[in-house]
Structure 1
Amino acid sequence: MTKREEKKRLRRLLLERVQALPPTYCRKADEAIYRHVVSLPAYQAARVICAYVGMAHEINTKPLIERMLAEGKRVGVPLCVGKGVMEMREIGGLDELQAGTWGILEPAPDAPLLQPDEIDLGLIPCVSGNEEGQRLGYGGGFYDAYLAKAPFLRVLLCRKAMMTAPIPLEPHDAMMDVVVSEDGAVYCSSRKNFEEIFH
């Protein structure tokens, strides 16, 4: 079985698992993840953050986005512009989002473009991740392609119940710097002293 086939099989199993998670667990986990993210020194120091808008079964990131905007941070949200290609577009509020690809809430196509090197920190979605900084995405390749040209700090959000190890990796798979679950933040980056940079 190739790595790609292994990932496909694991993704299918985990997507079944996430559908079965109790709503009360998800809500409590998401609230704890919110608290851990906003207490990160890197989050507090960041002026520009990109964040995904969670779908029904994903971590609810809307309260995080609202907090960032209320704190005067600039916020970018992904806009799919082609097969496996996305951009980060700046928003001023959640009301500017509209249903786009696969029903995911996206910025309008004329929203201001954020360049990858303008962004200080990114909140990254996953099907699964682990404390080694490995990530299993949805298979579209959007984030791996984007992160290949993005120097910002990568913070993966993953409920503990969805973590798995090891994750089969291919050469193009992006590694994460920090993994945040309801249990707290784990620093897994090979970038030495990156946290001190933000103090």
Structure 2
Amino acid sequence: MTDAPPPSSKPEWRKWARERRRGLPVAELSPRMNAHLATLLAQHGARHVLLYSAFGHEPDPAGVMEAHPAHYYLPRTEGRSLRVHPLPAPMVQHRYGFLEPSPAAPQVEPGVLEAVVLPGLAFDRRGYRLGYGQGFYDRFLLEAPHALRVGFVPQDLIVPELPTDPWDLPMHYLVSEQGVTPCYPPLP
């Protein structure tokens, strides 16, 4: 966890986190993070796991697919929602530059998911996530209420406390290059 400056608003925190993340060697951190993620998924018996397509300076969770046998899925944006597509799937480039499943790819209901691995600009020790501000995952998590919520984040972007909104849901765990941190509410 890092000692972060005290920005007061989510936009200020986003600016701080983007700048901080640009200086991190996420390509070097991702393999260690994936090893910890694989262990966590195995401990929870997660066999249906939603990942995300990393872009920019995000750590990449795709390496977990080699370490933990499971059914993996990726989200696709549709309007203001996320749709779930099993992998492998034909991919297209999103307008922001990352790859996502084609609209023609097979789709499943979010309720099939046992774990959701979430990106974020930063997370706090309580498990709250600072996203990009569009609310895709905030809305999506309500569709998969029983899934294990896992924040995938470099240790330098875990801060003591972030501002939250009433609709924000905390992660059950944070996975960094240093290991797995249980959050509130902890799961067995």
1:77 and 2:89 correspond: no
Q: 103, 107, 132: which is aligned to 2:101?
A: 107
CA displacement at 1:130 relative to structure 2: 2.2
Corresponding residue number in structure 2 for 1:20: 23
Q: 137, 150, 155: which is aligned to 2:150?
A: 155
The letter for the 2-side match of 1:175 is P
Corresponding residue number in structure 2 for 1:9: 12
Aligned-pair Cα RMSD in Å: 1.9
d(CA) in 1 for partners of 2:151 and 2:107? 23
Counting helix residues as a fraction of each chain, which structure ranks higher?
1
Taking only the aligned residue pairs, the percentage that are identical comes to: 28
d(CA) in 2 for partners of 1:164 and 1:98? 34
Contact 2:52-2:119 at 8 Å conserved across structures: yes
Change beyond 3 A, Cα 1:64–1:97? farther
In structure 2, stretches of 5+ residues that fail to align are: 1-7
d(CA) in 1 for partners of 2:107 and 2:184? 28
Contact 1:80-1:101 at 8 Å conserved across structures: no
Q: 83, 89, 100: which is aligned to 1:87?
A: 83
Corresponding residue number in structure 1 for 2:176: 181
- TM-score, scaled to structure 1: 0.83
Contact 1:47-1:120 at 8 Å conserved across structures: yes
In structure 1, stretches of 5+ residues that fail to align are: none
Name the count of aligned residue pairs: 180
2:102 aligns to what SS in structure 1? coil
